[in-house]
Amino acid sequence: MASKILAIPFVLAALVFLYLTWEVDSRYSWYIVPFVVALALVFVLSPQIDWWWHKKCPPRLRPKIQGLLERFLPYYQKLSESEKQRFRDRVALYMMANDFQAKGMDDPPADLKAVVAACAVQLSFGYPDFLLSPFEYIIFYPQPFPSPQYPEHFHASEIYEEDGVMIFSAEQLMKGFLQPAQFYNIGLHECAKAWERIHHQQDWPELGAEIWDSLQAISGFSQEAIQRWINLEPIPARPVSIVLFFTFPERFQQVLPELYQRYSVIFNQDTINGKHPVLKEIAVN
């Protein structure tokens, strides 16, 4: 870590003056004090120092994870080469910065972490801050699960704002990422809910009940089908509309042009490739 490297000269200097104090003259002990203070500051600021360093020199994604983005994420595919690198860097940093846990399974696999990271980075790609803080804890179950919020419903995903938690069924999460035309993307859905809460000051458009007909026309997913897939009711329209904005952009623009423009502004997409990436459309059965 950068903070440990930074601490080395202060440690060495303190040891030198400690030696001089012991072997030469006790008055050298005063020279130890500033180095000890500096070490204390490095220790206190080590998270900020390490994060600054990692942002300057992000870790490289494993080839398997990069291949996952290249094969299954149209948003990533349509970026310029420089923006693809920035996207990969942000995915790697998101995976490093957040706390991933597994319940009822071994340690969370890297592909599950990467899928959540890619969903979060899509939403925040037009902004400097991409971590969706304070939603820093991501928990995976192998399949649908009950929770303290919904103890009687085995459901596919949820967020718990008070503790900054997002929870996913690994099975539904991967299906929605790998086959978004057949399975609704719960990763984008929960990240959209988190993003909405973080950016509550945005001028969010009001969405009436009639929006569901348009959303179904865009994706083929009815409100009832999405509710069955997640197994929670009611499903709010806004996160669904955000998911479809990123998943089916061309049809979204055709069916809901005004909402498309509003979301392009809200998610700052005009800064990317000079415009909202024109994504490869996914065939809807």
What are 198-217's pLDDT values in tens digits?
998 888 999 999 999 999 99
What is the C-alpha separation between 163 and 80, in angstroms, rounded?
37
The model scores a pTM over 0.85:
no
What are 79-125's pLDDT values in tens digits?
999 999 999 999 999 999 999 999 988 889 999 999 999 999 999 99
What are 2-42's pLDDT values in tens digits?
656 655 766 666 676 676 777 777 776 776 777 677 666 65
Residue 73 has pLDDT above 90, yes or no: yes
What is the C-alpha separation between 244 and 252, in angstroms, rounded?
7
Q: Which two tokens stand for residue 95?
A: 């995976």
- Specify the DSSP class assigned to residue 133: T
What are 57-70's pLDDT values in tens digits?
778 889 999 999 99
What is the C-alpha separation between 186 and 175, in angstroms, rounded?
9
Where does the pLDDT of residue 54 fall: very low under 50, low under 70, confident under 90, or very high at 90 and above?
Answer: low
**Beta carbons of 137 and 99 less than 8 angstroms apart:** yes
**Beta carbons of 119 and 176 less than 8 angstroms apart:** no
Identify the pLDDT of residue 274.
Answer: 41
**Beta carbons of 176 and 185 less than 8 angstroms apart:** yes
**Beta carbons of 231 and 147 less than 8 angstroms apart:** no
**Beta carbons of 40 and 6 less than 8 angstroms apart:** no
What is the gyration radius of the CA atoms in the chain, in angstroms?
23
**Beta carbons of 219 and 190 less than 8 angstroms apart:** no
Instruction: Mark residue 132 as left, alpha or beta (left: phi above 0; alpha: psi -120 to 50; beta: remaining).
Output: left
Identify the pLDDT of residue 19.
Answer: 66
Number of residues in the chain: 285
C-alpha count within 13 angstroms, C-beta hemisphere, residue 274: 1
- Nearest alpha carbon to residue 191 among 112, 103, 278, 118: 118
Calculate the CA dihedral of residues 182, 184, 186, 192 and round it to 10 degrees.
140
